[in-house]
Structure 1
Amino acid sequence: MSQERVLWVLSRPGCHLCDDMVEELMPIARHYGFTVVKRDVDADPAWRQRYGRAIPVVLHGSVEICRHRCDAASVHDYLSRFPLE
């Protein structure tokens, strides 16, 4: 899973911070050939227990890249490790 070119944004419906995260993340992800998918944190009991109210959270597989706000530098640093296909 971690090698797929998909970033998950764990969120909740109506979360404006989550919407902001996706908006900021999309162009960065696109630059590196990744897609962004919003996932409801409450859809998985393990996510709900681990992240609770700490959303939004950006994950690549099980790797947490950032949470609460888009840390563009961290996202660029992480995604630059995966060569374009």
Structure 2
Amino acid sequence: MSLTLLTRATCALCDHLVLALELMRTRFRFEYTKVDVDSDPVLCKRFGLRVPILLDGDTEICAGTCDPTAVVAYLTAIQDK
């Protein structure tokens, strides 16, 4: 599974989510790509201050203050399919 993490350079919440994702990778099989929304005017306009945003394709797993428990619940549900 490949997820997308929308971030920005000066985002402490983004940094915390990255750490949580790295810990989750010891339990779940997934990759993620970090995308800096400030590098793309369209993404910046669309997502603005909502980062971090974790996506599975078009499915928004979490946004803003991302609760690691919610991410684990999502990954568990996907893994069980």
TM-score, structure 1 normalization? 0.75
Partner of 2:52: 56
Q: Is the 8 A contact 2:6 2:54 kept in 1?
A: yes
Q: Is the 8 A contact 1:11 1:38 kept in 2?
A: yes
Tell me the number of residue pairs that the alignment of Structure 1 and Structure 2 aligns. 80
Partner of 2:69: 73
Could you list the structure 1 runs, at least 4 aligned residues long, displaced by more than 4 angstroms after superposition: none
Q: CA RMSD in A?
A: 2.0
Please give the secondary structure, in 2, of the residue aligned with 1:22. helix
Matched, 1:15 2:19: no
- Percentage identity across aligned positions? 36
CA–CA separation in structure 2 for the residues paired with 1:72 and 1:61: 19
Structure with greater helix percent:
2
CA–CA separation in structure 2 for the residues paired with 1:82 and 1:29: 14
TM-score, structure 2 normalization? 0.78
> Which consecutive residues of structure 1, in runs of 5 or more, have no partner in the other structure?
none
CA–CA separation in structure 2 for the residues paired with 1:79 and 1:69: 18
